[in-house]
Structure 1
Amino acid sequence: MAQRSQGPTAADLAAQEPGEFWEDLYRRRADDLAAWGARVNPVLAEVAGALPAATALDLACGTGGDTLWLARHGWRVTAVDIASTAVMRVAERAVTEGLGDLVTTVRHDLARTFPAGSFDLVSAQYFHTPYDLPRGPILRTAAQALRPGGRLLVVDHASIAPWSWNQDPDTRFPSPQEVYDGMGLPSAGWTVERADAPRRTATGPDGRTATVTDHVLLVRRTEG
């Protein structure tokens, strides 16, 4: 029987700051994460594929699968992550693929700072962490960074995959509407275009497949 991924213990988390934790993870598991993270997240491909290529912000870009997919499809992408190793390797891959002019990488601890600029698409794919994170305020800032007509796409886990760090069966996953409410946006200026929970077949880092559920929230800015 395959073993599921071993998650960080409370002692692990207490011993490291968030930036140190993610930096260490990307250094130790560089090859595994690069291979697994080379794929685009399917909901992002579905949503962005129906839009004209413009400017995008990839929050917590990781190994860059989403960033590079967007750039290959003509988007000009700013990729941000808390780990210097992650953004460095995404930049290297972009140059290797001839996409260096379309990809800008920056390091930010989004709990403290946020990239400058305005965007037509902001993507937050599985923006989860074992540390406390002010997700609502960060996503509100992301929505406020949209140009009029731009979209914020938030895709969260809504089920536990066999390879997930968290195997607690009592875990509660906030609904897309709860995520939107937690952003605290004004009643005027934004509209929810999609809030649903699709199921799909996913492949884990060890090659196993499982049916998982996502929570999908798509918000469009209607006013400047």
Structure 2
Amino acid sequence: MNHERHCPVTRAFWEDFYRRDGRVWSGEPNPLLVRETSALPAGTALDLGCGEGADAVWLAGRGWRVTAVDVSPTALGRAAAHAAASGVADRVDWRQEDLTRSFPGGTYDLVSTQFLHSPVELPTERILRAAAEAVAPRGVLLVVGHAGLPPWVDVDPAMRFPTPEDVLDAVGATASPDWRVVVRESVRREVSGPDGRSGLRTDHVLKLRRVGGR
């Protein structure tokens, strides 16, 4: 791991998030990532906000060489352990980096942002523009995000939930011939709250392919 560039507030928040319990997530890749990338030929991938690394490990297991970025060293430590246990440690480069302050260099065949939401500072539009710039010719940008919080969670005014239109505008795809929209979909699913209540949650999926430029 390298690139310790971060804002103390951002790192402190996410370190607390990951350290207050044991493993936070299931260890399974995000289903919409699996759905949208299973048919892609393996290449280089950038996983933004990788958390405990399930997506990166899954991609590496399918032959991808992955650069996986998160601000929390605790999350990255768990991710590296997951990769080692899965036999793909040599296929993932774990980087501690705060996307509010910096962005990984290079270009990639796949750039993925899965639920990149935060109650602390997150310049979403700037991150999405940088993500789009990191997509190699003929590469894919995959952006999956919640449409909002579930009904039993109080809305935090600091959290932003970009619409598909917001994402397209941010990456410059609305009026540019350099991008082709492959998937634009809102997926609804039933979720259960901690008190047993159920409700519907909507996730937006945008899959874009770079067809020109550079």
TM range (shorter): 0.7 to 0.9
Alpha-carbon distance between aligned partners in 2 of 1:219 and 1:201, rounded to the nearest angstrom: 27
Amino acid at match of 2:121: D
Contact 2:10 2:121 in 1 (8 A): no
Q: Distance in 1 between matches of 2:191 and 2:36?
A: 18
Cα distance in 2, alignment partners of residues 55 and 204 from structure 1: 37
Q: Distance in 2 between matches of 1:29 and 1:103?
A: 25
Letter in 2 for 1:182: A
- Which region of structure 1 is more displaced relative to structure 2, 179-188 or 71-80? 179-188
Give the secondary-structure state (helix, strand or coil) at the position aligned to 1:198: strand
SS of the aligned residue for 1:104 comes to strand
Note the 1:120-199 alignment, pairs <5 A: 120-161=109-150, 164=153, 166-167=154-155, 173-184=161-172, 187-199=176-188
| Residue identity matched to 1:30 | G
Instruction: Give secondary structure in 2 for the equivalent of 1:141.
Output: helix
With over 3 angstroms needed to count, the CA separation of the structure-2 counterparts of 1:206 and 1:29, relative to structure 1, is farther
Report if aligned partners of 1:177, 1:195 keep a CA contact under 8 Å in 2: no
| Structure 2 counterpart of 1:101 | 90
Q: 1:203 to 1:44 in 2, by over 3 A?
A: farther
The 1-side partners of 2:126 and 2:52 are apart by 24
Whole-Å Cα distance in 1 between the matches of residues 150 and 128 of structure 2? Answer: 25
CA-CA distance at 1:129 after TM superposition: 0.4
**In structure 1, C-alpha distance between the alignment counterparts of 2:31 and 2:197, rounded to whole Å:** 17
The 2-side partners of 1:208 and 1:148 are apart by 45
Deviations 1:48-97 (A, max 9, x none): 10211111111000111211111122211111001111112211211122
Flag as ranges the 4+ runs of structure 1 deviating above 6 A.
Answer: 203-209
The aligned residue for residue 21 of structure 2 is 29
Contact 2:83 2:89 in 1 (8 A): yes
For 1:203 and 1:44, how far apart are their aligned partners in 2?
A: 22
TM superposition shift of 1:30: 2.7
Letter in 1 for 2:58: W
1:136 deviates by: 0.9
Name the aligned partner's letter for residue 83 of structure 1: S
Equivalent residue number for residue 17 of structure 1? 9
Matched-pair contact (CA < 8 Å) for 1:56–1:123: yes
Q: Using structure 2 for the length normalisation, give the TM-score.
A: 0.84
Say if 1:136 and 1:184, in contact at 8 Å, map to a contact too: no
Q: Provide, for residues 145-188 of structure 1, a one-character-per-residue CA deviation record: whole Å limited to 9, x for no partner.
A: 11111111111111432565x447xx984320122113345723
Partners of 1:106 and 1:129 in 2: CA distance = 19
The alignment yields a C-alpha RMSD, in angstroms, of 2.6
Local SS of the residue matching 1:58: strand
Deviations 1:31-63 (CA, angstroms, capped at 9, x unpaired): 3x0xx3412111100011021111111100011
TM-score, L = length of structure 1: 0.81
TM-superposed CA distance for 1:191, in Å, is 2.3
Residue matched to 1:61:
50
Read off the aligned partner of 1:106 and give its amino acid letter.
R
Q: Which runs of 5+ in 1 are unaligned?
A: 1-15
Which ranges in structure 2 are unaligned for 5 or more consecutive residues? 1-7
Percent of aligned pairs with the same amino acid: 49
Which residue of 2 is the match for residue 11 of structure 1?
none
